Structure 1
Amino acid sequence: MELRHLEYFLMLSKELHFTKAAEKLGISQPTLSHQIKMLEKEIGYSLFNRVGKRVELTKVGEIVQQETLNIRDSIQSMSSQITALSKVEIGELKIAVLPGEITDLVSTLCIQFNQLYPNIKVIIETTDQVEKSVLQNKADFGIDFQLNPNDLLEVTKLYDEEFYLISNEKSDTQNISFSSALDGPLILFPSIHQCRKLLNKTSCEIGKPFEPIVETSSIRSILNLVRNGVGRSIVSRTLYEFYETEDLFFQHIDKPSLNRAVYLVMKRNCFINYAAREYIKLLVSEIEKLHFHIEKEAIDSLHSVVL
């Protein structure tokens, strides 16, 4: 049974006249008669009683008519839902990110995304296993810093970022050594954050332990505490750029410098839905606007494949 047979049947059940139904369908009357006979043969019952040039539905025809109308409605509903999904009118977007400051970046972009697509539900999964979430289809894509080689993943380096020492007092120098940055009271993220893990690792490498005076997961709290002179902090450029920091001052950290790469992680050869593509567009646009050190070839490739 083909959908066109049901389409012909519905038109004939509406017009109850072979010639008129054939004209509206754009086919010949003999063709319509043949197609209806094929449908009746497949069902095993007559669907119409022929009364001269006019026809009337049989009892079986009435049943088929109702069920065919149900089928048509279901197809229309399916088509509407697929169209809506493709235009991000419904559905959800799932993003996997590492615990810490990158969550602030993702969450901040959600404000703009929600303004553009208010009916899309955004789920941000904070996890130490971003790659696993992507591979298990728990996330449409992920944002990660440290990656293990995996042939099942499509990984794009978005940008390199450095870390700043920030304070409420302007310094005479633009740069400061990592060892000197650890001197004095520090306000930092807890050890679970990726930024703090990098600080802890680097301090161990140079043999200079440190103990923050305040630990908090809130970037706003960190900025306010620094603003009020409680201490200094070390934050990624991402966070420094994304929040109101015009009244604060920063120094580049060197000897050694603190840098990390930020990666976009997707499942290889997997369909990237419209919602994910639109969010990634916002992310890339924001990165380019802030003039981060980006991998041009990688971004160009991302534009051609995803965006």
Structure 2
Amino acid sequence: MINLKGGWIMKSKQETIFSSKTLTYFLQLAETMNYTQAAQILGITQPALTQQIKKLERTVGAPLFYSVGKKLRLSEAGNTMLSATHEIYEVLNQATDEIQQSTSAESGEINIGLLASVEYSVFEDFAIQYYKENPDVTINFHMLTRKEIWDRLENNRIDLAIMYLPDDSIKNRKPYRSKKIITEDLLFIHNDEKMAKRKKIRLKDTLNNVWVTYPREYYLDQVLRENYKNAMVDLPNAVARFTTPDQIYQFSAETGAYTALPNSYIIAKGADSNLHAAQFEPGIKFDLAFVFRKDKDEIPRVGRLLDAFDSYLEADDYISRLTQIHDQKYGVNHHDEGAKD
């Protein structure tokens, strides 16, 4: 109950359900199916999370979760609540998009979530050029993990994501669209002179040395693990894990540890006399793409940016842009190669 000018008013069930962060807590637990992990992500204690879930269950009048051994499962009521919660967020996000479509449509901010493991130089160059032609639009880039990207897309805190696909970590794909930028090759990076001239290297031949790679929850590490398991080959022995390609590349160059990085990063980084790059056999490929909520591209400033990026790549394709940016950064002039002073 709440007191209003001396009178008592009973809170409705709806007010109880949607108060504070109850639904956020429920969604996080439904995603992780682990109280400890969900509480850590939410930044609260496990007892506090348990209390909120029990409060929600008392309100709806049914248990939302049940346990099978040590594993947590959604009950029938829990599945109904999960579906309803997604629908609620969908309605709110659609309302936000409709408002943005009708107010400040041509100017304002565009928030872009960029996967932290993606080579960003092309997007940085595009943003500079786009600003020169569209000074009334502010582009905010956020370097994020995959989970942070999906969370912010779900909560409408970013307009566009630039990330790798396919991605099975998102359970509710219906509200989203994707637009491919380029198909990436994952390259094997090594310092073994015996393999230096080989353009393709089998997975089983990459196990004679230690590795450096991304953390286990990162997309590229999961792609690697899946390909090794599918080929029935032992997983590489990772002795170090870093969150950015620069850190991984530097560790590999200094220690001789093997690794795997996208072709786009190797082009942007340039050759290193100590390291060699080769394709895996069989090849490991994935897409780099824009991901956004359906109808988000109908907001004029967002649609215009996507169209402008298409035009940007039509003038020079993605790989050509990478090469140009690398050459400008390191002062390479192909016309002057071999010339003498």
TM-score range for the pair, normalised by the shorter chain length: 0.5 to 0.7
Partner of 1:285: 313
- Equivalent of 2:280 in 243, 248, 253: 253
- Are residues 1:209 and 2:235 paired? yes
1:168-187 alignment, distance < 5 Å: 168=191, 171-187=196-212
- Are residues 1:239 and 2:256 paired? no
Q: Deviations over 1:176-226 (max 9, x none)?
A: 001212331212122122111111222233140322122222322222233
- Aligned-partner SS, 2:180: strand
Q: Evaluate the alpha carbon distance shift between residue 269 and residue 196 of structure 1 in structure 2; reply closer, same or farther with a 3 A threshold.
A: same
Partner of 1:93: 110
- Are residues 1:122 and 2:148 paired? no
Question: Structure 1: where are the runs of 5+ without partners?
Answer: 1-80, 293-307
Q: Deviations over 1:2-57 (max 9, x none)?
A: xxxxxxxxxxxxxxxxxxxxxxxxxxxxxxxxxxxxxxxxxxxxxxxxxxxxxxxx
d(CA) in 1 for partners of 2:266 and 2:308?
A: 21
- Are residues 1:159 and 2:182 paired? yes
- Aligned-partner SS, 1:164: strand
Q: How many angstroms does 1:111 deviate by?
A: 5.5
Question: Structure 2: where are the runs of 5+ without partners?
Answer: 1-102, 322-341
d(CA) in 2 for partners of 1:277 and 1:285?
A: 14
Q: Evaluate the alpha carbon distance shift between residue 276 and residue 166 of structure 1 in structure 2; reply closer, same or farther with a 3 A threshold.
A: farther
d(CA) in 1 for partners of 2:153 and 2:206?
A: 37
Q: How many angstroms does 1:114 deviate by?
A: 4.2
Partner of 1:137: 156
Q: Evaluate the alpha carbon distance shift between residue 151 and residue 231 of structure 1 in structure 2; reply closer, same or farther with a 3 A threshold.
A: closer
Q: How many angstroms does 1:169 deviate by?
A: 5.4
d(CA) in 1 for partners of 2:127 and 2:155?
A: 25
Which amino acid is the alignment partner of residue 181 of structure 2?
L
d(CA) in 1 for partners of 2:248 and 2:239?
A: 11
Q: Evaluate the alpha carbon distance shift between residue 273 and residue 241 of structure 1 in structure 2; reply closer, same or farther with a 3 A threshold.
A: farther
CA RMSD of the aligned region, Å? 3.4
Moved more, 194-203 or 238-247: 238-247
Q: Evaluate the alpha carbon distance shift between residue 123 and residue 173 of structure 1 in structure 2; reply closer, same or farther with a 3 A threshold.
A: closer
Which amino acid is the alignment partner of residue 179 of structure 2?
T
Q: TM-score, normalised by structure 2?
A: 0.50
Q: How many angstroms does 1:109 deviate by?
A: 2.2
d(CA) in 2 for partners of 1:207 and 1:228?
A: 27
Q: Evaluate the alpha carbon distance shift between residue 131 and residue 227 of structure 1 in structure 2; reply closer, same or farther with a 3 A threshold.
A: closer
Which amino acid is the alignment partner of residue 313 of structure 2?
S
1:18-57 alignment, distance < 5 Å: none
Equivalent residues of 2:211, 2:239 under 8 A apart: yes
d(CA) in 2 for partners of 1:182 and 1:272?
A: 49
Q: How many angstroms does 1:172 deviate by?
A: 2.4
d(CA) in 2 for partners of 1:140 and 1:183?
A: 44
d(CA) in 1 for partners of 2:208 and 2:299?
A: 47
Q: Deviations over 1:243-279 (max 9, x none)?
A: 233544211101x321112332223233244367436
Equivalent residues of 2:112, 2:139 under 8 A apart: no
Equivalent residues of 1:113, 1:279 under 8 A apart: no
d(CA) in 1 for partners of 2:143 and 2:254?
A: 33
Q: Evaluate the alpha carbon distance shift between residue 113 and residue 156 of structure 1 in structure 2; reply closer, same or farther with a 3 A threshold.
A: closer
d(CA) in 2 for partners of 1:275 and 1:288?
A: 21
d(CA) in 2 for partners of 1:138 and 1:209?
A: 37
Which amino acid is the alignment partner of residue 156 of structure 2?
N
Q: Matched residue pairs, number? A: 203
- Aligned-partner SS, 2:188: strand
d(CA) in 1 for partners of 2:236 and 2:112?
A: 34
